[in-house]
Amino acid sequence: MKSIKLFIGILVLAVGGFFTVYNFAKSCDDIHNIGKLQAVMKQHQAISVQYLSNTYRVNTSETIRDKGDEILAISSHKKEAGPIVSVEGPVQEPMIEHLQLSPEEIANNEHAEKMREREQTWNELIASQNTTVKRKQLPRLIGIGVEKCGTHAFLHFLEPHPLIKVIKKIEAHFFDERSTAPISEYLSMMPEVSPNTAVMEKTPAYFSFPPYGIPKLIKANVPQAKIVLILCEPAKRVYSDFVHEWAWYNISHHWSGIHQFQTIHDYLKKYLPKVTSSFVPYNETRAPGDTLRVLQHHSSDYMSTLLTTGFYALHLKRWLKYYNDSDMMVVDGSELFNDPGGVMERVQDFIDIPKVLFREDYVRDSKTGFFCYKEWNNNGRLNCLPSNKQRTRSKTSTSNPFPEETLQHLKDFYKTHNEALFKLLGRRLWES
């Protein structure tokens, strides 16, 4: 019996000693591993990763994960899984700090990418023009006016687009002067182009001259065409039109009646009372009849058109019977004058062609005050409007200034017509 108790005692001592030694060895091993782990953490504390043009820094956590988690040491060469350790502490995920470029650097990078994409698209469009069969096409874009509001400038700024082709005779005058002719005659005036090209013509007389049915004729014969209408403050437009008529008379000696008036004041003295008695103020009830009578005046007394062209609401009503915002774009002439690039960006969307003309392509000429198109693919050459399109608004204009008192008188004359226009459009274009 004593021998059995002795044996059991020895066995207990042996087992206890074994576990004591085991625990001691294990603790030493853990301490050793913690030291190794700390060394690895210090070695890989900051690892930089370069992605495109932006730099990101990955910081490994300085806190060891909870017991039971696997420690992953991030290496620029390989990933090493560390052993499980028994150390308490909160879990902290690796943090990513975005080291941003300056706003100027970002803007420069974005602009460079935009220009690269433009050049690629531009070259593809040019190539497409040379690989497809060309034929005559009816216009996809028709400018209908208004005269002296920037219709030529609009065409000048849009024409550089590879998919825009302007007819040789810029103003076709088909629907006002040959409205009864077959549409094949109109087609014969068009250039031969590739299928994806948008042909454009502009005839400002379409908007405000007879016959009354011009909008219906265009819609029926050229249904795919979209309409661009440029409107400008009508009082100033009168003066610009007066100067234009005198310039045209001096060049062509074509009689229009302008030669009998030496100044704008002389003209207004005769025609303001005449037109006022018939059409001012604007009257919604009699508007349809007024439109017809205005067109009759255009036929019988051309000089009255300098004033009656500015009755925009009367003329616009007949167009709105056939066109809406989806196929008619109304442009503020002052916006075209001050921000042609912004207008060009919108019109490219309007006629659904790739946008390759941008706001920054148009720069102001310090001498004239007018914008020019900066040819990005021709060493930045400036393509400016001809001087005969800058008679009254250019800094270098030699025209007599429009007397302020006369200008205000005309603004009062157009006031009710302007308000009617703004109501039709749902927006104000200028102060009336």
Distances (CA, A) of 362 to 67, 156, 358, 368, 386: 66, 12, 8, 14, 16
Q: What CA–CA distance (Å, rounded) separates 357 from 342? A: 9
pLDDT tens readout for residues 397-411: 556 678 899 999 999
Query: Which of the residue ranges 34-43, 54-63, 379-388 would you say has the lowest mean pLDDT?
Result: 54-63
Q: Is the pLDDT of residue 72 over 60?
A: no
- Residue 107: the pLDDT is 87
- Residue 400: the pLDDT is 67
Query: Which of the residue ranges 47-61, 258-272, 356-370 would you say has the lowest mean pLDDT?
Result: 47-61
Q: What CA–CA distance (Å, rounded) separates 380 from 376? A: 5
Average pLDDT over every residue of 17-23? 43
Q: Angle at the Cα of 201 (from 213 to 222), degrees rounded to 5?
A: 50
Average pLDDT over every residue of 335-341? 97
From 5, 114, 148, 219, active-site residue:
148
148 is catalytic: yes
- Residue 130: the pLDDT is 86
- Residue 297: the pLDDT is 81
Average pLDDT over every residue of 134-152? 97
Distances (CA, A) of 210 to 14, 291, 315, 423: 121, 10, 10, 24
Q: Is the pLDDT of residue 348 over 80?
A: yes
Provide the pLDDT confidence category of residue 323 given band limits of 50, 70 and 90.
very high
- Residue 131: the pLDDT is 81
Provide the pLDDT confidence category of residue 392 given band limits of 50, 70 and 90.
low
The chain-wide mean pLDDT, for the chain, equals 81
Q: Is the pLDDT of residue 89 over 80?
A: no
- Residue 432: the pLDDT is 75
Q: Angle at the Cα of 225 (from 222 to 228), degrees rounded to 5?
A: 130
pLDDT tens readout for residues 193-234: 999 999 999 999 999 999 999 999 999 999 999 999 999 999
Query: Which of the residue ranges 34-48, 237-251, 258-272, 323-337 would you say has the lowest mean pLDDT?
Result: 34-48
Query: Global pTM?
Result: 0.74
Answer yes or no: is 240 a known binding residue.
yes
pLDDT tens readout for residues 172-191: 999 999 999 999 999 999 99
- Residue 125: the pLDDT is 96
Q: Is the pLDDT of residue 1 over 80?
A: no
Q: Is the pLDDT of residue 166 over 80?
A: yes
Provide the pLDDT confidence category of residue 100 given band limits of 50, 70 and 90.
confident
- Residue 80: the pLDDT is 46
Strands 135-136 and 192-193: antiparallel
- Residue 399: the pLDDT is 61
- Residue 380: the pLDDT is 93
Provide the pLDDT confidence category of residue 30 given band limits of 50, 70 and 90.
very low
Query: Which of the residue ranges 26-40, 227-241, 257-271, 319-333 would you say has the lowest mean pLDDT?
Result: 26-40
Average pLDDT over every residue of 81-93? 49
Average pLDDT over every residue of 273-290? 90
Average pLDDT over every residue of 55-64? 37
